[in-house]
Structure 1
Amino acid sequence: MNQTLFEQLNKWHEEDEHQKIADLLIAIPDEERDYEVISLLARAYNNLGLYENALFQLEDIAGAGKQDSLWHYRIGYTLYHLGRFEDAVQAFRRSDQLEPGDQSTEYFLRRSIQKAEKQKREELRLANKKASMERSSSAKEKFLFSDMFLADFWEDSEYARESYQSEPPTDELIDSIEKELGYKLPSSYIHLMKHQNGGVPKNTSFPTQEPTSWAEDHIAITGIMGIGREKSYSLCGDLGSLFMIEEWGYPDIGVVICDCPSAGHDVVMLDYRACGKDGEPEVVHVDQEDDYEITFLANNFGEFIKGLVSEEQYDTSEEDKEEALDRVEHGKFSPLLEELCSQVTEVNQVEQKIRNICTRIVEEKGHFSFHADELSYVMYDVQFWFYTKSYPNTSREQYLAAYEKIIAFGGEFGQGGYAPSFITDWLNHRIKEGRIVQDHGIIQFTNSYAEEVITKLQEA
């Protein structure tokens, strides 16, 4: 590979332009692809999340890679993300033997060992559960909640009523929803929904024995989905179980029953793997941030509901706020945000202006995230102005694809995730207002509104 091409590929890699790398390398005829080309193509596929493609490429050069620590690292990385943790352990161990002391290798080796052990425990638990259920004559749990328990279970709020709560379900609706989902719902869940059909409980935390992306010792839920289709957070609503499985890629092991504060990056599910579609499901946490890792929570829905505890038991709000303030004040900008800031001449000290606005957001919310509030809209505006100033021929689709690389997944100065609906809602709102105009598929601010955005940034 010539030096010019190698430098271009590294530049794209640093800019997260992995599709460009893949497209360029795929265009090289098979007979002209050497070991380095195939290895870099596999790296691009890994960074695009195309792990099966990466595995195919790496296995094609397995013979040549036997003594290459980087080859073992890359195939270990691929196997890790394919959930083949025992194989990943072997690959990372070999990489560590060939090049001891690499921090990334050591990190993934530790994580692979942990996940392989957890995977074995999970497989054994499911096998024992299936065997137990086959021996048991009672297939369904008959758990009901007391009137005293139900009277103090739900939190009454406008948000809960608007987003979750529907009229109590009829038997006909329950049958219809079960057919659409393909699973028989637990009697305890139906009992709870007939008391109140969806909502936000007073207690929103559940203890765990293992750490997740949310916390070391518990998970949190935002609400419990009701039986219906009308409310966004109902089982068959537009943000319900089918949407999370089909659009977000959650495993098809049952029914998404609770959303979480991460805005889609983890959920609680009814897990029917052991019991079958008509049996009594377990309750599990599924972590999209960690390759959809499954963590067991409770043997059944009733046990899960009874096990919910107050978030005050795990209140780390002050520590979280201090961490978020440090991040927005000192965190390194993403490569894309740095590039966009470098193109701004209209505002002095533009990087500090951004940090000032984001500091105000953290001070108000206690955490670093953009939603549908006034300051978040300022940051949506600023990011859009930045991007379209540097890339004036941007379409709606191109901007939505680039958005997450600016701040949402920006690394040190980032939020670790975002809800796509907030940014699309903002975009639609600005278009409806006439502040964003479209011309032959190209979107941009009107000149007058761009001046308003600049003024807000200058005053920050």
Structure 2
Amino acid sequence: MEQHLLDQINEWYEADEHQQIVDTLLAIPEEERDYESIGELGRAYNNLGLYEEALAHFDTISEAGNQDALWHYRVGYALYYLKRYEDAAQAFRKADQLEPGDQRTESFLYWSLQKAEKQKREQLRLAQKAASIKQGDSAKKRGDFSDAWLADFWEDSGYARDAYQSAPPTDELISSIEQELGYKLPSSYIELMKHRNGGVPKNTNFPTEEPTSWAEDHIAITGIMGIGREKSYSLCGDLGSPFMIEDWGYPDIGVVICDCPSAGHDVVMLDYRACGRDGEPEVVHVDQEDDYEITFLADNFEAFVKGLVNDEEYDTSAEDKANALEKVAHGAFSPLLEELCSRVTEVEQLEQKIRKICTQIVEAKGGFAFHADELSYVMYDVQFWLYTMSYPDTTRDQYVAAYPNIIAFGKEFGQGGYGPSFITDWLEVRRKEKRIVQDHGVIRFTDSYVAEIMETINQV
């Protein structure tokens, strides 16, 4: 590829004009495209979320790419977002063998291996459930809800009545909603809705065997949607199941029945994949923050509602805060954070200042986590400044891949996880503010904003 075209592609890449890259490269006759141009075309398709198209182009240069770490990385990236995690892990492993130590590759390899194992467990469970249904071992369940249980299930509040609760559903309404959704609703769910058609239960937590974006061992719901269209949080209301699937991109595997405290970023669904549209669905948690990751909750709706537990079961806030304060005050920095701090001479007692900012975050939140608040943005700024001081040729993708190794998955001074969208959102905010600039793919703070950051740190 000629240098002037490569320079132009890099400019479009920096401006997120990936379709322009595709259009330009496709205009080159196929027989005239070389290895580099096809690789750039595949990368642009990856950035547009058109992963099958990306793989098709990468496949045409597979022989030449066999010993190229970047080719394997780009193939792994497409496979990862197609949820072909085992294949993605193989691609990232090969990229790591060809070019050891690349933090982007190491992070994606770790995530791919984790998700591949979970995917295998889910496939096995669904296959076992389908076989059980075929053998007639799984009958539809009708809610066995005693009067005493029902009397203590629902919370009575103005919010629950206004946002969720409708009149008890008629048979005609139930049939109409089922037709609109395309799924037969579980008899246990219908029975509960005939007692109270939507609302907020007193117990809003459900235990999990796997961590989610909400917690290590449970998820939380805000309410249970009723059968109807009238209320926002009813199955076919303006914030109901069709809206969450069509507008928010949740997988079309069944029916959204519960919203969660994240305001749309995770939901609870009835999952009909194993049983078919007229069968007895499982209940799953779907996490938009983690590329719509699905976590099994319960074998059926009745088991789900009867398995809900109170907030008090997980209220370790005082202990968690004390542990977090100890961590940020005395925990060992990750090797990467230690390295980055050791190279800074512009700020005295930098380690102590970082610990002090993080102590303020724990005091404000009760835990050690960064989100979209002002103090978190200070720490996003500090980490980016430190990293780009030591690695001045960093691209956006490289930084996103390196970020977890600074604090999120650090040693003792670590958070044990993070929301990737918070980092990408912060990057976009700073770019729009023109505090982060790009030059030939390399991103950095402006000199004037670096001065602001140093002033902020020094005032701590």
* Shared fold (TM-score, shorter chain, > 0.5): yes
Provide the C-alpha distance between the structure 2 equivalents of 1:320 and 1:124, rounded to a whole number of angstroms. Answer: 36
Does 2:366 align with 1:318?
yes
Alignment of 1:170-185 (within 5 A): 170-185=170-185
Is residue 2:165 matched to residue 1:165? Answer: yes
Write the distance in 1 (CA, Å) between the matches of 2:82 and 2:131.
28
Partner of 1:156: 156
Q: CA deviation at 1:309?
A: 1.9
The aligned counterpart of 1:410 is 425
The aligned amino acid for 1:56 is A
8 Å CA contact 1:269, 1:284 repeated in 2: yes
- Taking a change above 3 Å as real, the CA distance of residues 26 and 159 of structure 1, as seen in their structure-2 partners, is farther
* Aligned mates of 2:145, 2:169 — CA distance in 1: 17
Deviation at 1:408, TM superposition (A): 9.5
The C-alpha deviation readout for 1:363-404, integer Å capped at 9, x for no partner, is xxxxxxxxxxxxxxxxxxxxxxxxxxxxxxxxxxxxxxxxxx
Between the aligned partners of 1:202 and 1:409, the Cα distance in structure 2 is: 36
Number of residue pairs matched by the alignment = 345
Q: TM-score, normalised by structure 1?
A: 0.69
CA distance in 2, matches of 1:172, 1:244: 24
Q: Deviations over 1:252-283 (max 9, x none)?
A: 22111112222322211111122222221110
Q: Measure the CA separation in 1 of the matches of 2:313 and 2:11.
A: 47
Does structure 1 residue 329 correspond to structure 2 residue 378?
yes
Q: Residue 425 of structure 2: SS of its match in structure 1? A: coil
Which secondary structure state, in structure 1, belongs to the residue aligned with residue 65 of structure 2? coil
Counterpart in the other structure of 2:30? 30
SS of residue in 1 equivalent to 2:134: helix
CA contact (8 A) 1:332 1:412 kept: no
Cα 1:277–1:52 shift into 2, 3 Å: same
Q: Does 1:62 align with 2:58?
A: no
Match of 1:133 in 2: 133
| Structure 1 position 218 matched with structure 2 position 218 | yes
- Tell me how far 1:204 sits from its aligned partner: 1.8
The equivalent residue for 1:142 is 142
Deviates more, 1:144-153 or 1:116-125: 144-153
Residue 295 of structure 1, CA deviation? 1.0
Q: CA deviation at 1:410?
A: 1.9
Matched residue SS, 2:161: helix
Q: Equivalent residues in 2 for 1:345-384 (5 A)? A: none
Change (3 A) 1:17 1:236: same
Which secondary structure does the structure 2 equivalent of 1:256 belong to?
strand
One-letter code aligned to 1:327: S
Work out the CA distance in 2 between the residues paired with 1:410 and 1:132: 44
C-alpha separation between the residues in 2 aligned to 1:409 and 1:88?
22
> What letter corresponds to residue 377 of structure 2 in structure 1?
V
Kindly provide the CA deviation profile for residues 77-122 of structure 1, in whole angstroms up to 9, marking residues without a partner as x: 1111111111111111111111111111111111111111111111
Distance 1:26 1:116, change over 3 A: same
The equivalent of 1:393 in structure 2 is none
Query: Is residue 2:109 matched to residue 1:109?
Result: yes
Rate the CA distance shift 1:23–1:220 in 2: closer, same or farther, 3 A. farther
Q: Secondary structure at the match of 1:63?
A: helix
Aligned to 1:280: 280
Residue of structure 2 equivalent to 1:10: 10
The answer (yes or no) to whether the contact 1:408–1:414 under 8 Å persists in 2 is no
- 1:301 deviation in Å? 0.6
| Aligned amino acid, residue 44 of structure 1 | A
Q: Partners of 1:103 and 1:138 in 2: how far apart?
A: 47
SS, match of residue 411 in structure 1? helix
Code of the aligned partner of 1:190:
I
Amino acid in structure 1 at the alignment position of 2:256: V
CA distance in 1, matches of 2:427, 2:312: 28
| SS, match of residue 268 in structure 1 | strand
Change (3 A) 1:312 1:26: farther
Task: Map Cα deviations across residues 264-323 of structure 1 (whole Å, 9 max, x no partner).
Answer: 222111111222222211101112222222111001111111111233444555216776
* Change in 2 beyond 3 A, CA 1:15/1:200: farther
Identity of aligned residues (%): 70
Name the structure, 1 or 2, with higher relative contact order (CA <8 Å, separation 6+): 2
TM-score (norm 2): 0.69
Tell me, in whole angstroms, the C-alpha distance in 2 between the residues paired with 1:147 and 1:329. 53
Counterparts of 2:82 and 2:29 in 1: how far apart (Å)? 28
* Distance in 2 (alpha carbons) for counterparts of 1:408 and 1:106: 18
Tell me the residue number matched to 2:193: 193
RMSD: 2.7
SS in 2 for 1:83: coil
Paired residues for 1:190-269 under 5 Å: 190-269=190-269
Question: Is the partner of 1:127 in helix, strand or coil?
Answer: helix
Structure 1, unmatched stretches of 5+, are: 336-404, 416-460
Given the superposition, is the C-alpha separation of residues 138 and 64 from structure 1 closer, same or farther in structure 2, using an over 3 Å criterion? closer
Over 3 Å counting, the alpha-carbon distance change for 1:409 and 1:222 in structure 2 is farther
Distance 1:156 1:16, change over 3 A: farther
How many Å apart are 1:203 and its aligned residue? Answer: 2.0
Deviates most, 281-290 or 294-303 = 281-290
Deviations 1:187-222 (A, max 9, x none): 211121112111222222211111222222222222
Structure 2: 5+ residue stretches without partners: 318-364, 385-420, 431-460
Distance 1:297 1:70 in 2: 38
- Aligned residue in 1 for 2:406: none
